Amino acid sequence: MLKKNKMITFLIFLVTFSLVNPSHSLANTAYKTFTEDGYGNYVETQTAYTVSETIFKFGDELFRQASDLKIDQNGLLYVSDTGNGRILVGTRDGELVGIIGEDVLARPNGIFISEDEKLYVADEVEAKVFVFSLEGELLSEFGRPDSILFGSSSTFVPEKVAVDRRDNIYIISRGNSNGIIQINANSGQFIGYFSPNRTVVTPLTMFRRAIFSEEQLARMIDMVPPTAHNLNIDDRGLVYTVTQGVSNEAIKKLNMAGSNIIDMNVFDPFPSSIDIGPLENIFVAGENGFIYEYTSEGNLLFVFGGRDDGRQRVGLFGKISAIVVDERGHLYALDPEKNQIQIFEPTEFTNLVHEALTLYQNGDYEASKEPWQEVIRLNSLFDFANLGLGEAYFKEENYEAALTSFRLAKYKDGYSDAFWELRNVWMRENIINLLYIALGLFILKKIVSRVERKYRIWNSFKSKMDEKYNLKLLKDLVFIKNMIRHPIDSFYSIKYENKTSILSSTIFIFLFFVLYVLEKYYSGFIFRTVEDGEFAIGTDFVMVFGVFLLVITCNYLVCTINDGEGKFQHIYSGFVYSFAPYFIIKPFVIIFSNILTFNEVYLLNFTNFFIYSWVAILIVIMIKEINDYTLKETIKIILLTMFTILIAVLLIFIVYVLVAQMLSFFVSIFNEGVYRIEHR
């Protein structure tokens, strides 16, 4: 066979022993598969999993509203057949092996198979957790804990259940916001609540807390933290939870202390189920029918699937209530609306990624290089592979290749490290030359200033030019340097000596815009906040000029009604000239951002802080001097200006909405008219 392909085949053989089903594996899949790039955006990739089989029933037993699915060590499937009040056990070929708890269970929801081969079933209606042997014998049951610690008003409506190897039962109870209930399986004792989801405290809530009465506070439901929706436990005893409708930490990997040790860039807004695969990869199913595969560290490898919406195609879902991974890496997704289980098997590409990932996670970066290269051959945009390859190169001390790979992966930490190494090498080779150049420049400057002092060539040229042409604009522009040394004097000059003009100030605003754009799009990769290929220059333009205009106008308006002395031109120029430190220092910041790494980031941060505080001080002085206010008045004016800005923005928004409404109204009338005339 093909040389490269032979390798792949071999790898597949290592990873899986599956039979290929030719009728379904190569069809045009209904869904696209995406992976995450270094920025956390989705990019398309090869199909990661294809459906090999669909199970509609075990034997002749159909499912109804099935809500959970687990797989035991022998590969048998356990389906929590909620609608029929029982647990069905079957093989992956759809044969029925047994029915558990038919007379005991009322409405089983979550199930779990513990390490010592017991089946735990959470029953909402019975409000109990039942324990069965895998043969179906009822071993024990746990009701509402009577401990005082449990809380007298706390509810016990078990939805999901999990058990660790120390026989602690973790129970998610509907409506119990205290956290996950932890019960010891041997003694039945309530141990405590495990890792509650915390509410995010916003300034608004703080404000409310300050002014609301006790009663009002008690009525605010968003004070109650959202409960976890589902949970699972991996071989090492780490608890994984998913929570719906939260904007961060929707997926958590909890250590023994109950704190989250994972951070994900992207996740489903409504995760419904979670499982951990053989490589410690995390599989999450969303209620909308999307399936996500993450690495154990939370990097998204693949996302695929989706809602069926009448497309009638294999691999789509009405809804997913449970997802399970078996030891071969096959996925089983339970659909409670279509009442079926779809079995997905990994493609050759996915097996290759997993192979590389195994080596990478074991720290065997060098061995992982080859499979990563093969992944990249198949998909150059697979950023996680670029990252892995970068690490491999870095270990080999091939920093240039590492730099390229990290850059492609948009992995800033790695890029910074590789760049640091390269810069080090370059510095070592060129430090002498640099010193020579610095020395040369220094000497040159000395000579020039001495010559100038002696012959005054530049000075006479300047005065000559001055006589000949009227260079007011140039002088106005150069005047900005006085802002650095004598700000108060300069504002006096602006006010009384006409040292600036509207034109010169406008030119400086343009300069500000240019610097702003340069900083935004041409800072070094490590420090850039925008993504590659993202340009919004029109918006930038409107923003810079809009903000300047708004602030200056509002300030002017407030000043005029508060006995300020400044004319518009003075305030305009004063504002713009207050940015003198920005104009002088920012270019260096932009240049240096291209040669600095994260190790020296404090330098940049400090410089920026320095620039902005200086500008702020200059503005305050400007307002005070130009209008001849006292300090107290100045502060008042600044606050009033801010308020005026708020009102102005509000006003603009209202006008915009009204105009848009009106336009859409006229368009509708016109269309209706045209239609009526045409269909006479």
25 makes contact with another protein (CB under 8 A): yes
Nearest distance from residue 265's CB to another protein, in Å?
12
Please select the residue that binds another protein; options are 149, 200, 256, 381, rule is CB under 8 A: 381
54 makes contact with another protein (CB under 8 A): yes
Nearest distance from residue 405's CB to another protein, in Å?
11
287 makes contact with another protein (CB under 8 A): yes
Closest C-alpha to 9, from 437, 366, 347 = 347
Span from 96-104, 211-219, 275-283, 427-435 in contact with another protein (CB under 8 A): 211-219
Please select the residue that binds another protein; options are 140, 147, 155, 539, rule is CB under 8 A: 155
220 makes contact with another protein (CB under 8 A): yes
Closest C-alpha to 273, from 247, 258, 291, 259 = 291
188 makes contact with another protein (CB under 8 A): no
CB 596 within 8 A of CB 607: no
Please select the residue that binds another protein; options are 115, 348, 370, 421, rule is CB under 8 A: 348
Q: Which is nearer to another protein, 115 or 348 (CB)?
A: 348
Entry field: residues in the chain: 680
Calpha distance 290→490 (Å, rounded): 63
Please list, in sequence order, all residues whose beta carbon lies within 8 angstroms of the beta carbon of residue 109, skipping any fewer than 6 positions away: 67, 68, 80, 82, 122, 123, 124, 158, 159, 160
Please select the residue that binds another protein; options are 210, 257, 561, 631, rule is CB under 8 A: 561
CB 434 within 8 A of CB 441: no
Q: Which is nearer to another protein, 25 or 260 (CB)?
A: 25
Half-sphere exposure of residue 500: CA atoms within 13 angstroms, side-chain side: 31
What CA–CA distances, in Å, run from 407 to 37, 38, 368, 404, 421? 12, 9, 19, 5, 15
Calpha distance 534→543 (Å, rounded): 16
Please list, in sequence order, all residues whose beta carbon lies within 8 angstroms of the beta carbon of residue 29, skipping any fewer than 6 positions away: 47, 50, 314, 315
546 makes contact with another protein (CB under 8 A): no
Please select the residue that binds another protein; options are 222, 235, 263, 413, rule is CB under 8 A: 222
Please select the residue that binds another protein; options are 91, 178, 244, 506, rule is CB under 8 A: 244
Please select the residue that binds another protein; options are 68, 81, 124, 625, rule is CB under 8 A: 124
**Which of positions 265-284 make contact with another protein (CB under 8 A)?**
269-270
Q: Which is nearer to another protein, 8 or 238 (CB)?
A: 8
567 makes contact with another protein (CB under 8 A): no
Q: Which is nearer to another protein, 60 or 116 (CB)?
A: 60
Q: Which is nearer to another protein, 93 or 397 (CB)?
A: 93
Span from 4-12, 181-189, 250-258, 440-448 in contact with another protein (CB under 8 A): 4-12
Span from 73-81, 86-94, 308-316, 499-507 in contact with another protein (CB under 8 A): 308-316
Q: Which is nearer to another protein, 123 or 476 (CB)?
A: 123
Please list, in sequence order, all residues whose beta carbon lies within 8 angstroms of the beta carbon of residue 69, skipping any fewer than 6 positions away: 77, 78, 79, 80, 321, 322, 323, 324, 332, 334, 341
CB 178 within 8 A of CB 193: yes
Neighbours of 601 (CB within 10 A): 14
Classify residue 666 by burial, with Cβ atoms within 10 Å: 0-12, 13-18, 19+: exposed
565 makes contact with another protein (CB under 8 A): no
Please select the residue that binds another protein; options are 195, 243, 295, 340, rule is CB under 8 A: 340
Nearest distance from residue 27's CB to another protein, in Å?
4
Q: Which is nearer to another protein, 134 or 284 (CB)?
A: 284
307 makes contact with another protein (CB under 8 A): yes
**Which of positions 83-112 make contact with another protein (CB under 8 A)?**
83, 85, 106-107
659 makes contact with another protein (CB under 8 A): no
Nearest distance from residue 234's CB to another protein, in Å?
27
Nearest distance from residue 79's CB to another protein, in Å?
15
Q: Which is nearer to another protein, 295 or 350 (CB)?
A: 350
Please give the span between the terminal C-alpha atoms of the chain, in angstroms, as a whole number: 70
382 makes contact with another protein (CB under 8 A): yes
Nearest distance from residue 4's CB to another protein, in Å?
6
Q: Which is nearer to another protein, 166 or 219 (CB)?
A: 219
Calpha distance 231→243 (Å, rounded): 9
Closest C-alpha to 357, from 282, 256, 452 = 282
350 makes contact with another protein (CB under 8 A): yes
Calpha distance 182→16 (Å, rounded): 37
Please select the residue that binds another protein; options are 362, 380, 460, 498, rule is CB under 8 A: 380
Closest C-alpha to 107, from 143, 136, 81, 137 = 81
Calpha distance 381→508 (Å, rounded): 42
The site for another protein, by CB under 8 A, has a size of 117
Span from 50-58, 475-483, 543-551, 596-604 in contact with another protein (CB under 8 A): 50-58
Please select the residue that binds another protein; options are 11, 37, 273, 505, rule is CB under 8 A: 37
Calpha distance 491→498 (Å, rounded): 10
**Which of positions 579-608 make contact with another protein (CB under 8 A)?**
none
534 makes contact with another protein (CB under 8 A): yes
**Which of positions 409-468 make contact with another protein (CB under 8 A)?**
none
Neighbours of 320 (CB within 10 A): 28
Q: Which is nearer to another protein, 163 or 334 (CB)?
A: 334
Span from 185-193, 327-335, 588-596, 639-647 in contact with another protein (CB under 8 A): 639-647
Closest C-alpha to 101, from 73, 117, 80, 115 = 80
Closest C-alpha to 56, from 112, 95, 108, 97 = 95
Please list, in sequence order, all residues whose beta carbon lies within 8 angstroms of the beta carbon of residue 111, skipping any fewer than 6 positions away: 68, 70, 78, 80, 87, 119, 120, 121, 122, 161
Please select the residue that binds another protein; options are 53, 65, 258, 619, rule is CB under 8 A: 65
In the DSSP assignment, the letter for residue 169 is: E
**C-alpha angle 263/268/274, rounded to 5°?**
75
Q: Which is nearer to another protein, 105 or 483 (CB)?
A: 105
